[in-house]
Amino acid sequence: MDTIKKNWYSESCELWPGSTFSFEVKEVLHDERSLYQHIQVFDTISLGKVLVLDGIIQCTEKDEFSYQEMISFLPLCCHPNPEKVLIVGGGDGGVARDVAKHPQVKEIVQVEIDAMVIEVSKKYLKFMSVGFDNKKMTLHVGDGFEFMKNHSHEFDVIITDSSDPVGPAVNLFQENYFSLMKSALKPNGIVCSQAGTYWDSMELVKNTLKICKNQFPVAAYATTSVPTYPCGQIGFVIGSLDGNANLLNPVREFSLEQLKNMDLKYYNSDVHKASFSLPSFVRYEIEP
């Protein structure tokens, strides 16, 4: 099921044995291995353009805005003055695109390890790579770890837009990474990292949240609905250096009209607050 049969592509990953999501392909736009991963871009019947890395859907034109807006605006709206933002990963440009929509953001620095993802996105996924054209933006190709080692106390918000913890992203889910992010933050800074979903990765959720709580005085886990991700959901851990922060209540709220003018399609203050609500079976596990 991991190859293209009769114009259908099926996801394949050791993380989710026994079930899979498939989509009908109109055209294979790109299919190449970079130094780091297998990069594929499809034009599809029902999902628009789709970016696949190492066999796993990263974003589809149909629903990528939910992920990008939530990983960006959850931390941005928890910070009273998010002027300087670091994005680690996010080579498609979608997070940069949405971070730039926040009116208080003055400077965006991004470090993506795989130049080919950036190139491919600029060629085929302009609805996301438009993020790289913003004047606030400085883009580096390199390792996020190495970059942060040389940039202490610089950022208000650090967003880690990584793939799943198999392959090149595995280090971004570990304690020394969260420790390094902490050192790269200004006082009262905030981090937000992709952290999987409790439906099929409860241990990942628990471990990442535990690591975040070890490093930050305030930390929480939130989710958003993304239909084309496994289980239709993805989660984030958010940590704040401000011991008085209440992550569940955004510091800054935008009206629905303001959000429309900012071209936000998913995020709003109600969704922000709701995203931290967890089903009982998860709370039984993480509220011992």
Give catalytic residues, as residue numbers.
161
- Written as six digits, the tokens of 270 are 């109600």
| CB 36 to a second copy: min, Å | 27
| CB 57 to a second copy: min, Å | 10
Determine contact, residues 152/192, Cβ cutoff 8 Å. no
| CB 77 to a second copy: min, Å | 13
CA torsion angle for 21, 112, 39, 49 (degrees, to 10)?
Answer: 60
For tokens 């996301």, name the residue: 128
Nearest to a second copy of 88, 278 (CB atom): 278
Binding residues for a second copy, rule: CB under 8 A, are 1, 8, 10, 16-24, 44-47, 63, 65-66, 199-200, 223, 225-233, 256, 259-260, 264-268, 270-271, 273-275, 277-281, 283-284, 287
Of 167, 157, 105, 158, give the one whose Cα is nearest residue 134: 105
Nearest to a second copy of 23, 132 (CB atom): 23
Nearest to a second copy of 143, 285 (CB atom): 285
| CB 1 to a second copy: min, Å | 7
Instruction: Identify the H or E element spanning 186.
Output: strand 185-194
Of 4, 85, 18, give the one whose Cα is nearest residue 52: 4
Contacts of 179 (CB under 8 A, 6+ apart): 215
DSSP-based three-state secondary structure for 43: strand
Cβ atoms < 10 Å from Cβ of 107: 15
Nearest to a second copy of 19, 138 (CB atom): 19
The 8-class DSSP code of residue 216 comes to -
